[in-house]
Structure 1
Amino acid sequence: MASSPWMDPLRRQARRLQRRWQMLPLLDRWLWAEMLGPLLFGVAAFTAVSLSVGVVFELVRKVAEAGLPLWAAGKVLALRMPGFLVLSFPMATLMATLLAFSRLSGSSELTALRSIGVKTWRMVVPALVMAGLMSVLTFVFNDVIVPSANYAASNTLDNALGRALSAQTGKNVVYSRFGRITPKQPGGDAGEGLTQLFYSKEFKNGEMQGVTLLDFSREDQQQVLTAQTAVWDDDKAMWEFRDGRILNIDAASNFTTSADYTSYYYPFTRAPLDVGMLPSDAAQMTVAQALRAEALLQQAGDQKEARRLRVRIQEKFAFPAICLVFGLIGSSLGVRPNSRTSRSQGFGISVLLIFGYYLMSFIFSSLGIKGTLWPFFAAWMPVFIGLAGGVVLLRQASR
C-alpha cells in the first residue's frame, strides 16, 4: 500500500524524536514515565474541582435565574477552562512528583538505586526538568491563551445576557497630565505642574460620557470644560467635546466667562482613551498590555493602581515558577526512604501545601500593593522561601 507523500516527513520526524528519546539516560526516561500518569490525573482532577467551584455553579445559577442560553453557558465554560488549567499545572506538578517518588520509595526501588551509588539529588533531576517544562507551559498559557480566552468569555457572557461589551466600558476614567505652565508675562517662568485633569464617569461604546476637563496650563487663566460626551478624532488628533459648556476663570480678578457649545475640539493626548479601554482585571492582560497599563497609570498620577499593577506584572513571571517550587518539594518529600503515599493522601497533602503557599503569596502580595514591600519581592519572596524549603527537605532526604 503506497503511503501518502505528506505522511513520509511525519514518519521521519517521529523516528528522529524516538531516537533522541532513546538517547536520554534510562533512569530519566523511567522516572518521567512514572510521573506522567499522576501528572495527567492531577491536571484533570484539580481542573475539574476548581472549574466546578469557580464557574459551573455560577453558570447554572445564571441559566436558571437570568435565562442564560445553554449554548452560551457551554461556550463560556470552554473559554474559562484555560484559566483554570493554568491554576492546576502547579498543583498537578506537586501531586505527580509526590505520588511517583512515594510509590517508588515504598516499593524499595529507590533503595535499590541508592545501593548502586545513585545519589538522591540525581533522582530528583528528572522531576525538576519536568517542573521546569511545566513552568514554561504555565507562562505561555498565562500570557498568550488565558487573557484572550477570559476576554472572549466576558464578552460572550455579556452579549448573551444583553449587556454592553465589557471590553468597551470603563468606570471613572481619570487621567492627569503634567508639564510646563505658560507664564503670565512673556519670558517669565511659571515652572512645571499639573496642566490638565481629565475625568469621565464612563467610557462606553467608544465614547467618554459625563466628561469634565480642568485646564491649568496657563498661569493667568483656568479653564473648565464639561460635556455630555467626548470622542477621540484620529484625523485631527484631538478630542471632540459634544453638548457642553466652557468656563474661563481669570486668575487675577476671578472674573468668569462661559459659553455653551454643541461641538468643541480640544488638543489633548489620546491617553484617556487608552485608560478607558484597559481591562479592569489584570488576568485579562498580557505582560505587554500590563506594562502599557502601568505606564498610563503612572502618567495619570494614580500611584496606588500603578503599584498594584507592578505587583501583578511581577506575579505573571513568578507564578509559573511555582511549578518548579512544587516539583522540588514534592520530589523531596517522596524520595525519602520508606515513604509511601496513596493517591488520596497525596491529593490531601497537595491541597494543604498549596493552601499554605497561596496564603503566603496573598500576604506578600498585599504588602506589595500597600507599598510595604517592593513589587519584585512581594511577588518572588514566596518562590524564594519555597525553594529554600525544598532544598532543606532534599538535604534531609539525602542523609
Structure 2
Amino acid sequence: MNKVFFKYIAKNFWGPFFFGLGVFMALMLFGSLFDKMNFFMKSSSGFGVFIRHLVYQLPYFAVKMMPMATLLAVLFALGGMIARGEWKAGMAGGWRPVEMAAPLIFCSVLAALAQFAIQETVAPAFFMRSEHIFEGKLRGRGDWQRLVKRDVSFSAGDEVFVTAHIFDGGAGVMERVLVNSYKDGNLSTEVNAQKAVWDGARRNWEFYDGVVIKYGARGEKPVTSQFRAFSGVAMNPPRDLALERLVPDGVALRDVLTRIKRLKAIGSPVTGETVLLYSKLAGPLANIVLAVMGLTLVLLIRMSRILSFGAALATGFLFWTFMIMGQSAGEAELAPPLAAGFGPALIFLALSFLGLRKAKVF
C-alpha cells in the first residue's frame, strides 16, 4: 500500500480515539464521583483530599477505557471512509479490503502497547494511592489491606516456621510467637517469645522475653535458656511474610509474579493470582480484538456516528462483562487460568473473523 494512503487512514484513527478516550474517562470519573460522594460527606476530610482520590484514578480509567476508545476510533475512521467513498475508491484502485484495514489494526497495536505501558507503570501506584485515600481517610479503615492477622502459621524462610497470636506485617511486630528452625529436616532451634520486632537497620528479627531451646544430635539433651532479647534466628523480613489483601488494579505483572512465588513458598493456593496474571496479559489485547470487531460491525452494518458511539459502548461493555465472567470462573476453578484469562478475547476475535469473512474482507 502507498505510504501516503497508509498514513492518511492511520491519521483518521487518532482523533476519534482521543475523543472517545476522553469521553469514556469522563463518564467513569463522574460515576466514581457520585458513587463515593456519600463517603466524602460523612468524613472530616477536605474536598481537596477527595479530588486527589479521583485524580489518582485517572490512569486506571485510561487503562480500562482504551479498548473502547480503539473500537470507537475504528468505527468512526472506517465509517467516514465509506461515507466519503474512499473505501470504494481504494478497492477500485486495486487495494484489497484487508490492506486498507491494516493501518487501523496497526494503530490498535500501538494503543495496546500504550495500555500495557500505563498498566505496568503509572496505573498501579496511582490506583493504590487512591485506595489509601478512600479507605484510610474517607472511610477511616486503617488496616484495609489486612496486614494484621491473628493466630497464623507460615513459613519464614528455608526450614523456618512461625506461629504467632498476632502478626502485624505493616508495623513489623509479632506477639506470642513460636519459631521452629530445622536443619537437614530435624528440629534445630525453638524460640518461644512474648514479642518479636523487625529491626530495619540490622535487617533481623529481635525476640523479647522468652525461652530458646537448642537441640543437638540425636540422644543429646536439649539446652534451654531464658532471654530478655534474642536475635539468633534467620528469618525473612515482614514484607516477604505479610500477604496483604490483593488489589487487582493496584498491582503490576511483576507484583503478581512475586506474590505467586511467596504463596507457593508457604504452600498456599495460587489460582486467583494465576488467573489475574493471564487477565493482565490479555487486557491490552482487547484493543486489537475490538478493532477487528469494529471492522466487522462497519462492513456488515452501515451506521451513523451516533449509532457508532452507541455500538462502541454496548460492544465494549459486553466484552468487559465477558472478561470479568471469565476471571470469576477461573477464580472459582470452573475454568483453567489460561482459558479464563485469554478465553473471552479469543472468542470475540474468532467471531470477528467470521464476520469479516462474511463481509468478504479476505
The separation in 2 between residues aligned to 1:109 and 1:333, in whole angstroms, is: 18
Deviation of the 1:382 alpha carbon: 1.8
- Partners of 1:271 and 1:296 within 8 A in 2: no
Q: Which residue of 2 aligns with 1:207?
A: 172
Further displaced range: 108-117 or 61-70: 108-117
Q: Deviations over 1:285-314 (max 9, x none)?
A: 2222221111011101111xx221122122
Deviation of the 1:241 alpha carbon: 2.9
Q: Which residue of 2 aligns with 1:383?
A: 345
Q: Does 1:150 align with 2:127?
A: yes
Alignment: residue pair count: 352
| SS of residue paired to 1:33 | helix
Q: How does 1:298-313 map to 2 (within 5 A)?
A: 298-303=264-269, 306-313=270-277
Percent of counterpart pairs with the same letter?
21
The separation in 1 between residues aligned to 2:54 and 2:253, in whole angstroms, is: 24
The separation in 2 between residues aligned to 1:328 and 1:220, in whole angstroms, is: 61
Q: Does 1:398 align with 2:360?
A: yes
Structure 2 stretches lacking a partner, 5+ long = 216-222
Amino acid at match of 1:307: T
Q: Which residue of 2 aligns with 1:92?
A: 69
Q: Deviations over 1:247-305 (max 9, x none)?
A: 97x9xxxxxx99986544351421553232756313222222221111011101111xx
| Compared CA separation, residues 211 and 362, structure 1 to 2 (3 A) | farther
Q: How does 1:287-302 map to 2 (within 5 A)?
A: 287-302=253-268
Q: Does 1:30 align with 2:8?
A: yes
Q: Deviations over 1:222-259 (max 9, x none)?
A: 957353x432235655422345x5597x9xxxxxx999
The separation in 2 between residues aligned to 1:324 and 1:231, in whole angstroms, is: 51
| SS of residue paired to 2:57 | helix
Deviation of the 1:59 alpha carbon: 4.0
Q: Does 1:329 align with 2:308?
A: no
- Partners of 2:174 and 2:197 within 8 A in 1: no
The separation in 1 between residues aligned to 2:286 and 2:191, in whole angstroms, is: 51
| Compared CA separation, residues 351 and 156, structure 1 to 2 (3 A) | same
The counterpart of 1:233, out of the listed 196, 199, 202, is: 199
Q: How does 1:273-288 map to 2 (within 5 A)?
A: 273-276=239-242, 280-288=246-254
Further displaced range: 132-141 or 28-37: 28-37
| SS of residue paired to 1:175 | strand
- Partners of 1:38 and 1:96 within 8 A in 2: yes
| SS of residue paired to 1:239 | strand
The separation in 2 between residues aligned to 1:327 and 1:292, in whole angstroms, is: 33
Q: Which residue of 1 aligns with 2:41?
A: 64
Structure 1 stretches lacking a partner, 5+ long = 1-22, 181-194, 251-256
Deviation of the 1:97 alpha carbon: 0.6
The separation in 1 between residues aligned to 2:321 and 2:139, in whole angstroms, is: 37
The separation in 2 between residues aligned to 1:77 and 1:333, in whole angstroms, is: 34
The separation in 1 between residues aligned to 2:6 and 2:357, in whole angstroms, is: 21
The separation in 1 between residues aligned to 2:307 and 2:174, in whole angstroms, is: 56
